[in-house]
Structure 1
């Protein structure tokens, strides 16, 4: 009787530990491929604004990191690019702005970009879908780049409007 009970317990253990069909092991790391194909295209910057941006070293470093992110093919590459982008964004925020872009409009759009960048980083770390945070990040980046164009193309003299002497 004891032998039969021991054989039954071993059989139940072996049957219970068997991996069922269609199940994936949680420990297996899969590379998830990511595509920028259906993401918003990058906003063009006005040539006058681009001249100022070319002399802004922190922004150029930031842009090079952003370009690396565009070349990411899977979530691991994207995680490395986002980590680098977070560091460059912090350096950009703590660095000086060119006088023409030292405005609340630029800083607020940068803050929105940072929010979506951190949201994307959290999605990557949680291994959730990154498509929506990436779309939001690229939209925020386009709004930021468009604000450079707006500031450069704005020819109104605020001192005259606000009657500042």
Structure 2
């Protein structure tokens, strides 16, 4: 029994003396940058969709604010742009949608976009990397633009379907 106790004590001493990696949290506020070069481009939309979107004031204001985001070169600029985008998105959500785009497909994608904007805002507040959440946010906006193209290209005439006898 004494040999077993000595063996356990020696093992505990050996494990306790092992070099431990020091894990210290460094202040990364000076080293976190926003890499604006990595941002994806806005998805092109077809001319019919562009004509409808030109008349949709709330979406147009949001899209123009998103263009400001492309000129952001640091986290301070990004923070101001995100605050403006969040306000414009609220107005966009409260506004009236064009009849063709007043669908759950568009509104659900808008909620995903809002979630991505809040992720960017949280990254700014927590002073973590903002590049990846910003890329996700722009991709979510591109998905909305793609949905506009899909809706416009796949319109079915319900009268033809319902009157087919």
TM-score in same-fold range (> 0.5) = yes
The question of whether the paired residues in 2 share the 8 Å contact of 1:31 and 1:75 is answered with: no
Aligned to 2:4: none
Aligned to 1:91: 91
* Cα distance in structure 2, aligned partners of 1:133 and 1:66: 14
Q: Which runs of 4+ in 1 moved over 3 A?
A: 28-33, 158-161
Measured against aligned partners, the alpha-carbon deviations of 1:10-45 in whole angstroms (never above 9, x if no partner) come to: xxxxxxxxxxxxxxx95x964854233223221001
The question of whether the paired residues in 2 share the 8 Å contact of 1:58 and 1:92 is answered with: yes
* Cα distance in structure 2, aligned partners of 1:59 and 1:51: 12
* Cα distance in structure 1, aligned partners of 2:159 and 2:108: 22
Deviation at 1:64, TM superposition (A): 1.1
TM value normalised by structure 2: 0.77
Aligned to 1:48: 48
The question of whether the paired residues in 2 share the 8 Å contact of 1:31 and 1:76 is answered with: no
The question of whether the paired residues in 1 share the 8 Å contact of 2:79 and 2:121 is answered with: yes
**Count, aligned residues:** 140
Aligned to 1:101: 101
The question of whether the paired residues in 2 share the 8 Å contact of 1:79 and 1:121 is answered with: yes
The question of whether the paired residues in 2 share the 8 Å contact of 1:120 and 1:133 is answered with: yes
Aligned to 2:122: 122
Aligned to 2:74: 74
TM value normalised by structure 1: 0.77
* Cα distance in structure 2, aligned partners of 1:30 and 1:158: 58
Q: Aligned Cα RMSD in Å?
A: 2.3
Deviation at 1:160, TM superposition (A): 4.7
Q: Which runs of 5+ in 1 are unaligned?
A: 1-24
Aligned to 1:37: 37
